[in-house]
Structure 1
Amino acid sequence: MAQPPATRASWPIFRSLAGFQPSNLPGDLIAGLTLAAIAIPEQMATARLGGFSPQIGFFAFMAGSLGFAMLGANRFLSCGADSTITPIFAAGLALMATAGSPDYQSLAMALALMVGAIMIAGGLFKLGWIANLLSTPVTVGFLAGISVHILVSQLPGVLGLTTPDGPTLYKLGVLAENIGQTNAYTLAIGLGVLALVAGSEKISARIPGALIGLVVATIAVIAGHLESKGVKVVGIVPGSLPKPSFPDIAPERWIKLLSLAILIAIVVMVQTAATTRSFLSDPDKPADVDRDFLGAGAGSLLAGLFGAFPVNASPPRTGIVSETGGRTQLSGLFAAAIVLALLAFGATLLQHVPDAALGGVLLFVALRIIRVKQIITIFRQSFYEFLLVVATAAAIIVLPIEQGVAVGIALSLLHGIWTTTQGQLAEFVHVPGTTIWWPAGPHVTGERKPGIAVVGLQAPLSFLNAEGFHGGVLKTIGHATPKPKLLVIEASGMIEIDFTAAQALRDLFRECRDDGVTVAVARLESSRAQDAFERFDLYDVLQRDHVFRSVDEAVRTLGQG
């Protein structure tokens, strides 16, 4: 029998194992085996995407799996090297060191430690709301832009061409010019692996198409002596096991990494929250996002200590664990143990894996993260938000990638601010035969009562819209015939009132009083708004008994004079 929730919640570490039962073991082992089969090629490919040797991807996966199992709450979530954040931090690190150099790896380790620390602080200080910084259109555009970066970065390996330096669009131009020099063998391997992975996914996500593709491609390279025909391979993969160490970099370089670490941490928070909410440990309980921030942060900390780079939650791998019978984080630990065994005893099996095969895996990953259906839906339902998708994707493609991501976050925040400022003042009318007052509209049958004006703002009242609200109310009163004797502010939409808004309300209450208009507030339901009335001394200018639970009550009490 599973332990009661209170007992599980009291576990300081390995909370996701608290409800483990012996009957869970077969499912966890099968899920772990499937996860390892999918993660091995993916982690190798993601490491190469970031400019690291393949075994560094294995270190990242083991660190992410162990760290999340220790401090995370979600029973299914898989944490490790991730193709969403890798292009971002790789571009940032490349500005400070040559990719693949010891200095580059030291910077990656330092970055992982910083991201881990930020994530843990986010979990401890309950900053789960940060995951909502990216709106859906911006997130879709962000993924589309990242996808283009991955595609462009992997095309040279699949085509058998030298990777050009420079911006993404410049790289595309160079590749187009040299397309005639494509190596037919590498192209066949890359597209063959892509087709095999896509076909396997189409049949069942449980089929390790990437692993099958790598095995087939490797056999083809060996049997056909394709290395002599220009097919590049991974080469010798050191069988060394991860050893704890601390990056030796100058203090000023830690400071230079801070902005990149914050950027990566925000993206990890967004993806971790989305993943854990999509695959709930208990369908009857909300996701513990803050606790899962701790798990993802612990994964990055361990990755930094063991020579790897920042890690992230993976929605596809998490889905695999959930679909193949995983019940606890034991599945992730088992997968990590398989990867560790591969490093210790079977690293030599990887030396003939062709680079083009890893490129084929990443091409599939890139194509999968483009949410075409969602882009079409946004275009059909909200064109201006579709422009957000386009602008975010364009910023990430055209600008240096870390700057593009920052622009995407800024666009998301500006979108939220703009939406708040668009909160319109609504005039309410009485629905005949009822006690209901409803916002006026073309499809609403209602009546206005002489001498009474009922208005409301269906948005938080803040510095962004306070002046417009104040002016709009006075305009409504001034244009009404006859002039209202009672003004009722329907406040159900005012879930928040800041200092600037409170001053606007004080001025409005005074001006109405001086003009002979009685003011009442109805449905002040938000506890934060109620607290604002107390903190900002609004009851000094509005009588407490002029706050009512409904518009009808306010009208019946004060509108008879």
Structure 2
Amino acid sequence: MDPQAPAAGGTRAAGGASRLFPIVGWLGSYQRSWLRGDLIAGVTVAALIVPKNLGYAGIAGIPLQNGLYAAAAGALLYAVFGTCRQISMGPSSGLAAVAASAVVAAGITDEGDIASFVAGLTLASGALFLVLAVLKMGWIAQFLSRAVVTGFLFGAAIDVVIGELPRLTGTQTSGTNSFQELWSWLGSLGDANVATVLVGTISLVVVFGLRRIAPQVPGALVLVVGGLVASYAFDLGEHGVALVGDVPRGLPSFAVPDLGLMWDHVVPVALGAFALVLIGFSQTTGDARAFAAKHRYQIDVNQESVAQSAANVGAGLFQGMPVSTSLSASSLNDHAGARTGLASITSGVTVLLTLLVLAPLFSQLPKPVLGALIIEAVVMGMMDVREMRRIHRVQRFDFWIAVAAIVATLAFGVLAGVMIGIGLSLLWLVRVATQPDMPALARQPGTQVYRDRDEHPDDEQPAGVVVVRIDGGLFFATSDALEDRIRTLIQAEPDVSAVVIDFEGVNFIDSQGSAKLDDILVLCQQAAVSLRLARVKPRVRAVLEREELVTRLGSDHIHGNVHRAVVAHDPTPRDKDAADSSPADPG
């Protein structure tokens, strides 16, 4: 166990206060030796996230300072409510893309309304997180498969990159989807501003080049500082390079978003909040578990929902944008020596000091520099080429699901891409659940082991006995398939006198499944075939007993393994003793 880390119970201390406010637990056991690491980690992470959050605000289409408001609120509130000591909470490229898509879906164009809408969307996602925490429904995030998330994020990144291209050329584009916007941008290149193109090109080279040759250098910070220096030194605004405009100094103020605006666009708000929760929960929970496992302490998944709720509610009420974990910032936090939530508090306070002291400097930031910053953030944070290659190598069906999510995102928008991705995940789930494998089995020579005879064609087929295994639950969606499989096997082998169903893979059976098993018994009786079951789990057998199938089938036709079932039907001289010793096995 990490000798410098607080005890695992620090974040789960007894008592209602420490359970709801984990900060009480780790503050009570805080040690002076942790202070230096926490402070260094907090300041280091702030240096990374300040320039990145300017970019995330740009993706969402809100004033740049609003991204910093969200970063401060997320970091401070997560430190109070979160159970992971290394997490860095704040805006992310994926969440910003979802927020921007919700704005587009709502058809809002006024900058003030966009900021209020995004804040309201953030508040709504925080409320939804709280509902999930109270009802303990975090499992709902599992309905978004990893392949769909990978594809959606990849498509969203491409969408954001296409949207940022006009900033690199100083041109205007139009279109209702990414393909149309890209075509429009290509047609506008004749009107490109030379100075803007030069600044944009240099910015891309700097930020991607540093990541390539000096990955330890904070490229986003270097790019922002360099862009500001160049803007002042060469008076880029006078050469036709667009600047981001006024970024006021000061702390965020408490403001309830325009509820009327939210109600007028309730459908995009509901869909956007749901998408934000699915993505945010899966990101934060996965990262929190990884850091907890690394440092050998426990997190509370339900409390993580509470923490995300608090962070998003706070960000929404202080004119921010959606927040969740950032893996790059959290990894930096961990590497820099974070031991407790004080590191997160330090990050939040540093961001607030930046707003108080340095915010006006950002007003001279060239828009092509901001565009390059955004492009680097989404390309490196959302385009997971390695994962796409892995999926393609491991499971081609998952790969095409990811590709479908990419195409849907580009064709119909990020928000629609999330919804289509959820639909694809559910369809995939239904496909897997309703089409379980039902292989016919044969015996490995010289053993009592029965295995898939298609994979092992040289195995021994017991005379007159068909053995089939169902690899999945037996319920309303699969029961007909089992009956069809048994019927097909009986018809394909006219000399069959017994059917053995291996229930090893059946963990669940519903009333329709038990009724269908009764139909299969009738089918076998009509065909003068004996039906036997093997390896029936206790809770599955309990359902069969309530169905009274065990009585009709006979308890002597339920066996502990496939070999006993086969031998019990037709014992050979060599196997007679084994059959006599256990003719009726309870399974």
Please confirm whether the aligned pair reaches a TM-score higher than 0.5, indicating the same fold. yes
Selected match of 2:326 from 305, 310, 314: 314
Alpha carbons of structure 1 residues 239 and 327: separation in structure 2 relative to 1, 3 Å: same
| Deviations, residues 454-500 of structure 1 (Å, cap 9, x unaligned) | 21112233333321111101221333353223x32211222332343
User: Is 1:264 the counterpart of 2:276 in the alignment?
Assistant: yes
* Aligned-pair CA distance for 1:242: 1.9
Selected match of 1:9 from 9, 12, 26: 12
Q: Gapped runs of 5+ residues in structure 1?
A: none
Selected match of 2:468 from 448, 455, 476: 455
User: Is 1:346 the counterpart of 2:364 in the alignment?
Assistant: no
* Aligned-pair CA distance for 1:538: 4.7
Alpha carbons of structure 1 residues 197 and 545: separation in structure 2 relative to 1, 3 Å: farther
Secondary structure of 2:330's counterpart equals helix
- 1:505 — aligned with what? 517
User: Is 1:59 the counterpart of 2:69 in the alignment?
Assistant: yes
* Aligned-pair CA distance for 1:132: 2.3
Secondary structure of 2:469's counterpart equals strand
Selected match of 2:31 from 21, 27, 31: 21
Selected match of 1:79 from 74, 80, 89: 89
Spell out the pairing of 1:19-418 with structure 2 (5 A cutoff).
20-96=30-106, 98-164=108-174, 166-203=176-213, 205-250=215-260, 252-253=263-264, 255-256=266-267, 257-282=269-294, 288-368=300-380, 369-418=382-431
* Aligned-pair CA distance for 1:300: 0.9
Alpha carbons of structure 1 residues 197 and 278: separation in structure 2 relative to 1, 3 Å: farther
Is the Cα–Cα contact under 8 Å of residues 157 and 163 in structure 1 kept in the other structure? no
Identity %: 28
Within 2, Cα distance between the matches of 1:351 and 1:392? 37
Q: Structure 2 length normalisation: TM-score?
A: 0.87
Within 2, Cα distance between the matches of 1:385 and 1:269? 22
* Aligned-pair CA distance for 1:340: 0.4
Q: Structure 1 length normalisation: TM-score?
A: 0.91
- 1:554 — aligned with what? 565
The one-letter code matched in structure 2 to 1:9 is R
- 2:489 — aligned with what? 476
Alpha carbons of structure 1 residues 442 and 247: separation in structure 2 relative to 1, 3 Å: closer
Is the Cα–Cα contact under 8 Å of residues 119 and 320 in structure 2 kept in the other structure? yes
- 1:491 — aligned with what? 503
Within 2, Cα distance between the matches of 1:531 and 1:353? 70
Selected match of 1:519 from 531, 544, 557: 531
* Aligned-pair CA distance for 1:363: 0.9
The one-letter code matched in structure 2 to 1:244 is F
Alpha carbons of structure 1 residues 423 and 279: separation in structure 2 relative to 1, 3 Å: same
| Deviations, residues 518-548 of structure 1 (Å, cap 9, x unaligned) | 43332234x7645654666654544455443
Alpha carbons of structure 1 residues 519 and 161: separation in structure 2 relative to 1, 3 Å: same
Is the Cα–Cα contact under 8 Å of residues 52 and 99 in structure 1 kept in the other structure? no
| Deviations, residues 230-255 of structure 1 (Å, cap 9, x unaligned) | 11222221223122232232374374
* Aligned-pair CA distance for 1:67: 2.8
- 2:585 — aligned with what? none
* Aligned-pair CA distance for 1:227: 0.9
Within 2, Cα distance between the matches of 1:534 and 1:260? 47
Question: Number of residues paired by the alignment?
Answer: 559
Within 1, Cα distance between the matches of 2:501 and 2:364? 73
Alpha carbons of structure 1 residues 535 and 360: separation in structure 2 relative to 1, 3 Å: farther
- 2:583 — aligned with what? none
Which deviates more, 430-439 or 47-56?
A: 430-439
Within 2, Cα distance between the matches of 1:287 and 1:435? 45
Within 2, Cα distance between the matches of 1:130 and 1:535? 32
Secondary structure of 1:497's counterpart equals coil
Alpha carbons of structure 1 residues 4 and 332: separation in structure 2 relative to 1, 3 Å: closer
Is the Cα–Cα contact under 8 Å of residues 206 and 320 in structure 1 kept in the other structure? no
Structure exhibiting the larger radius of gyration computed from Cα positions: 2
* Aligned-pair CA distance for 1:338: 0.4
Alpha carbons of structure 1 residues 146 and 536: separation in structure 2 relative to 1, 3 Å: farther
Within 2, Cα distance between the matches of 1:72 and 1:530? 43
| Deviations, residues 286-341 of structure 1 (Å, cap 9, x unaligned) | 76443322222221111111122222222222222222222222222211110001
Within 1, Cα distance between the matches of 2:448 and 2:149? 43
The one-letter code matched in structure 1 to 2:19 is P
Within 2, Cα distance between the matches of 1:498 and 1:204? 59
Which deviates more, 276-285 or 257-266?
A: 276-285
Alpha carbons of structure 1 residues 406 and 449: separation in structure 2 relative to 1, 3 Å: same
Secondary structure of 2:117's counterpart equals helix
Secondary structure of 2:531's counterpart equals strand
Within 1, Cα distance between the matches of 2:82 and 2:275? 21
* Aligned-pair CA distance for 1:271: 2.4
Within 2, Cα distance between the matches of 1:494 and 1:323? 45
Q: Gapped runs of 5+ residues in structure 2?
A: 572-578, 580-587
* Aligned-pair CA distance for 1:83: 1.2
| Deviations, residues 133-173 of structure 1 (Å, cap 9, x unaligned) | 22233222211210111101111112122353532222212
Alpha carbons of structure 1 residues 537 and 140: separation in structure 2 relative to 1, 3 Å: farther
Within 1, Cα distance between the matches of 2:273 and 2:364? 35
The one-letter code matched in structure 2 to 1:396 is T
Secondary structure of 1:520's counterpart equals strand
Within 1, Cα distance between the matches of 2:200 and 2:298? 42
Alpha carbons of structure 1 residues 335 and 6: separation in structure 2 relative to 1, 3 Å: closer
Across the aligned residues of Structure 1 and Structure 2, the Cα RMSD in angstroms comes to 2.7
Alpha carbons of structure 1 residues 13 and 171: separation in structure 2 relative to 1, 3 Å: same
* Aligned-pair CA distance for 1:259: 2.7
Alpha carbons of structure 1 residues 500 and 206: separation in structure 2 relative to 1, 3 Å: farther
Within 1, Cα distance between the matches of 2:273 and 2:417? 15
